Amino acid sequence: MELVNRTGFPAGIFRTVIDDDRLAASVLARITFDVRRGGALTPSEEQSWIVSGPPWESPCGPMDSDEVFYKGGVDVFLFGHARAPGGREVSQMEVKIAVGDWSRTIRVIGDRVWRRSGDQLRPSAPMPFLEMPLTLAHAFGGKDEWDGLSVGYPENEQGKGYYLEEDHAEGGPLPNLEEPDALIAAWTDRPEPVGLGACPITSGQRLRNGLGFDDEGRITELRPTLFNAAFPRMILPGARPGDPVRVDGVLSEGPLAFQIPDAAPRVRLTFGDEVIERPLAIDQIGIEADRYRVFIAYRYPFRYVIHPLQRRRCELFGHPSTVTAKG
């Protein structure tokens, strides 16, 4: 069964074998929107967020394969910078993203280092800043040296703030992105890195959220959340057209706000004389704050039985309210 894509937007179908005559399939479409004045979303001329079987390099870094049957919720991604309100420097601030009734807040702190105070190391006063990248490089993690070897923090080797010895920490930087409920107080603290973009498949956070283990460390459960590409704290139970989305702290002039549009494509499945038509459900919401751009991915998973010589067809149609992409 091949996909006939009549939407003009990036889309694909992914299949996997269940047994001798049964298959599972999943149709995915991804639409990139520009956020216009007043929060209106219009399809972008350039549909940069594609659909890909293999892992791929997106406009904002590595992304997972889209070859997934279903997930344990809706992925939310936030790309860009924290920006001081009104263009006036701050030493710390908060970035908050809200989708419907769900919200997520992170603390953004200016550059600091560990300074000795008596017999203890304490964080220095944060330096003022106008903007701060919302990337793993500014979250907890990094590398330190032990016995002449470079040792990376397994949760995030590209971050900063990870030290194996106290004398290594003195004068060393702390992370800029922290959880408000788990702020770093000692150089020995090992918080989970704050991740707002794509979560690596090897991330401990992702594995702990997607797998169950027994007392002996054996895997006992495989959860659908293992296939979510966002960090665990960025996974929604669900999202629907009309849900308001608001991001505070990413634009100097004020919040970035819009509503999820009623734009879900529809899939039409034909199996012999049987025809099934269904809307795709929201699978991912990605916000590129610096570009005033949003992508929404939509997915419809299904199973079917192979009957010899049966006519099978899968067609994807755009929502009437969404104009076809030009790029």
Q: What is residue 232's three-state secondary structure? A: helix
What is the C-alpha to C-alpha distance for residues 150 and 167, in angstroms, rounded to an integer? 16
What is the model's pLDDT at position 20?
82
- Asked if residue 304 and residue 246 are part of one domain, the reply reads yes
What is the C-alpha to C-alpha distance for residues 267 and 197, in angstroms, rounded to an integer? 29
- Asked if residue 112 and residue 61 are part of one domain, the reply reads no
Give the residue ranges of DSSP H helices in the chain.
166-169, 204-210
User: What tokens does 313 get?
Assistant: 């067809």
User: Is position 194 within any domain?
Assistant: no
Which of 128, 159, 178 delimits the end of a domain? 178
In the chain, what is the straight-line distance between the N-terminal and C-terminal CA atoms, in Å? 26
User: What tokens does 184 get?
Assistant: 């770093």
What is the model's pLDDT at position 325?
44
Which of 154, 178, 202 delimits the end of a domain? 178
- Asked if residue 59 and residue 110 are part of one domain, the reply reads no
What is the model's pLDDT at position 192?
95
> Tell me: the pLDDT tens digits for 7-49?
999 999 999 988 888 999 999 999 999 999 888 999 999 999 9
Residue 136 reports pLDDT greater than 60: yes
What is the C-alpha to C-alpha distance for residues 183 and 167, in angstroms, rounded to an integer? 21
What is the C-alpha to C-alpha distance for residues 133 and 326, in angstroms, rounded to an integer? 31
Q: Could you tell me which residues come within 8 angstroms of residue 148 by beta carbon, excluding any fewer than 6 positions away?
A: none
Place of tokens 């090992």: 190
User: Is position 186 within any domain?
Assistant: no
- The greatest distance separating any two alpha carbons of the chain, rounded to the nearest whole angstrom, comes to 81
Cross-strand bridge partners of residue 114: 123, 170
What is the model's pLDDT at position 322?
65
What is the C-alpha to C-alpha distance for residues 82 and 289, in angstroms, rounded to an integer? 9
- Please check whether residue 89 is in contact with residue 128, taking contact to mean a CB–CB distance below 8 angstroms: yes
- Asked if residue 58 and residue 14 are part of one domain, the reply reads yes
Which of 178, 202, 229 delimits the end of a domain? 178
- Asked if residue 258 and residue 307 are part of one domain, the reply reads yes
- Please check whether residue 291 is in contact with residue 253, taking contact to mean a CB–CB distance below 8 angstroms: no
What is the model's pLDDT at position 125?
97
Report the chain's mean pLDDT, rounded to a whole number: 93
User: Is position 183 within any domain?
Assistant: no
User: Is position 209 within any domain?
Assistant: no
What is the model's pLDDT at position 321?
66
Phi-psi region of 86 (alpha: psi -120 to 50; beta: other; left: phi over 0): left
Domain with 137 in it: 87-93+106-178
Chain mean position to CA 90:
27
- Asked if residue 69 and residue 23 are part of one domain, the reply reads yes
Provide the residue type at 233 as one letter: R
User: Is position 266 within any domain?
Assistant: yes
The three-state DSSP-derived secondary structure of 292-315 is CEEEEEEEEEEEEECCCCCCEEEE
What is the C-alpha to C-alpha distance for residues 234 and 102, in angstroms, rounded to an integer? 10
> Tell me: the pLDDT tens digits for 292-307?
999 999 999 999 998 8
pTM metric for this prediction: 0.94
- Asked if residue 296 and residue 244 are part of one domain, the reply reads yes
Residue 326 reports pLDDT greater than 50: no
Q: Strands 3-5 and 312-317: what pairing?
A: parallel
Average pLDDT over residues 165-178: 96
Q: Could you tell me which residues come within 8 angstroms of residue 219 by beta carbon, excluding any fewer than 6 positions away?
A: 211, 212, 213
Q: How many residues does the chain have?
A: 327
User: Is position 192 within any domain?
Assistant: no
Share of the chain above pLDDT 70, in %: 98
* Burial class (CB within 10 angstroms; exposed 0-12, middle 13-18, buried 19+) of 294: buried
- Asked if residue 292 and residue 247 are part of one domain, the reply reads yes
Q: How many domains does the chain have?
A: 2
User: Is position 189 within any domain?
Assistant: no
User: Is position 196 within any domain?
Assistant: no
